């Protein structure tokens, strides 16, 4: 109630609303926002850039392809006329899937069905002929613990599906992803020789979804893979009928020495406060299936397009706006850590950093990590942000990469609608054709409007 009375006092003293004092400015900003939105939607320039990027293929950290894409992005930023463009070197993990995996159910040495499978990112290989063992199905680490004396020598099948009942699919993802990340550790505790998981996805199809998994040095490193959602149902049913069936799993992946890589950085220098920096970016690495169109080619290209929209519309930002394409978010965050180190020691002042890493769907809001005064200041821009489909500004949840920029005044996460994201996330279906041009361009526009307001108003 205190805040309410403070607001009230202001009203009573001023005799007018807070908004009316600045209504002319709001209308001015709204017109700029309209122009940004119209330009993005009509020209679809970023969307066409994303098409180019996707033609290069997937961009897993340490891969040759990721370097091709890095050099492409650098050249593209130079072509677009950014004031400075550079590569920030960083060493990244280098894991390769190798030859295509194999997974199949056998009943008394007779093939029942081959399953759609993808090694999890970071998994060790099986021996060259694969591993064959009985399967124990569990739905949680608690259940695994209860059945721990049945695990030895078996392949553990973690089959708990993502909770479709949660309205936010990131929460749904969170309801199941522990099996993927920690499954091999938990299973190894009790002597399992391998792990398969039900793909963490909102789509009832049979395309497997990969993603990072972890080991600890104190336990044996056992191979781990994801199988398709429908094949997971099939395996469950088969196990009910025949608990002694055998699963063969063959993974050919390998971890190499760390590889040289780079963050790609481009900026337009501010005309008035060039030492105040607004970062906008996504992560440039992707998994090695599909082409990382939504995750996170889209966020990267939208971030490039933010700067390009300033160029196209001849808007000169008061503060420096910098596009940072962080490498290695998927399996190490090395790029973000490296940029964070630079930010910590730079004489510049990072006033804000915006991360786009939730797919290229219709914009709905911005998550903000900052003190409440700063969040309130940003929330007051909603009448302008609404022009770009932004409905709300909320506390918390900015993003993994920007969180490494610890000295920024505000960390922001761009939030689009998330209903379809987990359908394609980390799978071979994360391709350009799954990106809708208008939804993509609205994302570019929403971030450009936010960057424009930050650049004009500061924090």
Q: Which residues are catalytic?
A: 329
Looking at the Cβ atoms of 231 and 439, the one nearer to its own copies is 439
Residues in region 158-187 near its own copies by CB under 8 A: 164-167, 169
CB of 280 to its own copies, least distance (A): 21
Site for its own copies contains 202 (CB under 8 A): yes
Using CB under 8 A as the binding criterion, the count of chain residues that bind its own copies stands at 31
CB of 350 to its own copies, least distance (A): 31
Site for its own copies contains 362 (CB under 8 A): yes
Q: Rg of the chain's alpha carbons, rounded to an integer?
A: 24
Of 352, 356, 388, 408, the one binding its own copies (CB under 8 A) is: 388
354 close to 279: Cβ distance less than 8 angstroms: yes
CB of 10 to its own copies, least distance (A): 12
Task: Fill in the per-residue mask, 33 to 62: x = in contact with its own copies (CB under 8 A), - = not in contact.
Answer: ----xxx-xx--------------------
Contact window for its own copies (CB under 8 A) among 8-16, 281-289, 350-358, 395-403: 8-16
| DSSP one-letter string for 115-137 | --EEEPBTPPP--TT-EEEEEEE
Q: What is the rounded distance in angstroms from the CA atom of residue 42 to the CA atom of residue 23?
A: 28
458 φ/ψ sector (left φ>0, alpha ψ -120 to 50, else beta): left
Q: What is the rounded distance in angstroms from the CA atom of residue 417 to the CA atom of residue 265?
A: 27
Q: Residue 173 has which token pair?
A: 């993802």
448 close to 305: Cβ distance less than 8 angstroms: yes
74 φ/ψ sector (left φ>0, alpha ψ -120 to 50, else beta): alpha
Looking at the Cβ atoms of 71 and 204, the one nearer to its own copies is 204
CB of 33 to its own copies, least distance (A): 10
Site for its own copies contains 4 (CB under 8 A): yes
CB of 126 to its own copies, least distance (A): 35
Site for its own copies contains 154 (CB under 8 A): no
Helix axis angle for 45-56 and 64-79, nearest 10°, is 150
Contact window for its own copies (CB under 8 A) among 4-12, 96-104, 253-261, 329-337: 4-12
Closest C-alpha to 88, from 266, 330, 259:
266
Contact window for its own copies (CB under 8 A) among 148-156, 343-351, 385-393, 427-435: 385-393
Closest C-alpha to 265, from 318, 359, 331, 338:
338
Of 350, 420, 425, 426, the one binding its own copies (CB under 8 A) is: 420
* Torsional sign, CA 67, 72, 73, 79: positive
DSSP 162: P
User: In which residue are the tokens 């804000």 written?
Assistant: 352
Of 269, 348, 436, 457, the one binding its own copies (CB under 8 A) is: 436
Residues forming contacts to its own copies in the complex (CB under 8 A) are 1, 4, 8, 11, 16-17, 37-39, 41-42, 164-167, 169, 202, 362, 364, 387-389, 391-392, 417, 419-420, 436, 438-439, 442
């Amino acid at each position: 109630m205190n805040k309410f009375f403070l607001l009230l006092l202001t009203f009573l003293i001023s005799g007018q609303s807070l908004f009316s004092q600045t209504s002319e400015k709001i209308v001015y900003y709204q017109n700029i926002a309209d122009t940004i939105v119209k330009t993005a939607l009509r020209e679809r320039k970023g969307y066409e850039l994303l098409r180019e990027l996707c033609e290069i293929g997937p961009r897993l950290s340490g891969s040759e392809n990721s370097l091709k894409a890095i050099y492409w992005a650098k050249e593209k930023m130079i072509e677009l006329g950014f004031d400075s463009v550079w590569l920030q070197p960083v060493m990244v993990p280098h894991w390769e899937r190798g030859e295509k995996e194999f997974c199949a159910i056998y009943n008394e040495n007779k093939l029942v069905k081959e399953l759609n499978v993808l090694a999890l990112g970071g998994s060790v290989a099986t021996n060259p002929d694969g591993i064959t063992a009985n399967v124990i199905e569990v739905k949680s680490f608690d259940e695994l613990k209860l059945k721990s004396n049945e695990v030895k020598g078996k392949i553990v099948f973690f089959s708990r599906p993502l909770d479709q009942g949660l309205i936010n699919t990131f929460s749904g993802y969170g309801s199941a992803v522990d099996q993927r990340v920690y499954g091999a550790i938990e299973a190894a505790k009790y002597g399992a020789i391998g792990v398969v998981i039900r793909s963490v996805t909102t789509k009832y199809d049979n395309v497997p979804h990969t993603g990072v998994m972890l080991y600890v040095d104190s336990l044996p490193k056992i191979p781990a893979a994801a199988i398709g959602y429908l094949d997971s149902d099939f395996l469950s049913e088969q196990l009910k009928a025949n608990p002694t069936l055998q699963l063969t799993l063959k993974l050919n992946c390998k971890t190499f020495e760390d590889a040289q890589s780079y963050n790609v950085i481009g900026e337009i220098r501010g005309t008035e406060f060039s030492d105040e920096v607004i970062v906008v970016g996504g992560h440039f690495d992707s998994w090695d299936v599909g082409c990382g169109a939504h995750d996170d080619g889209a966020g990267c290209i939208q971030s490039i397009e933010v700067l390009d929209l300033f160029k196209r519309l001849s808007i000169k930002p008061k503060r420096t706006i910098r596009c940072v394409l962080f490498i290695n978010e998927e399996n190490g965050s090395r790029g973000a850590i490296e940029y964070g180190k630079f930010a910590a020691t730079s004489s510049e002042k990072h006033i804000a950093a915006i991360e786009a890493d939730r797919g290229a769907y219709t914009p709905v809001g911005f998550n903000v990590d900052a003190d409440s005064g700063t969040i309130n200041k940003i929330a007051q821009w909603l009448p302008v942000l609404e022009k770009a489909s932004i409905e709300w500004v909320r506390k918390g949840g900015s993003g993994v990469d920007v969180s490494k920029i610890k000295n920024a005044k505000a960390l922001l996460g761009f939030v689009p609608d998330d209903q379809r994201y987990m359908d394609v996330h980390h799978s071979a279906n994360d391709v350009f054709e799954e990106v809708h041009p208008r939804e993509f361009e609205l994302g570019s526009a929403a971030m450009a409007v936010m960057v424009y307001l930050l650049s004009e108003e500061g924090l």
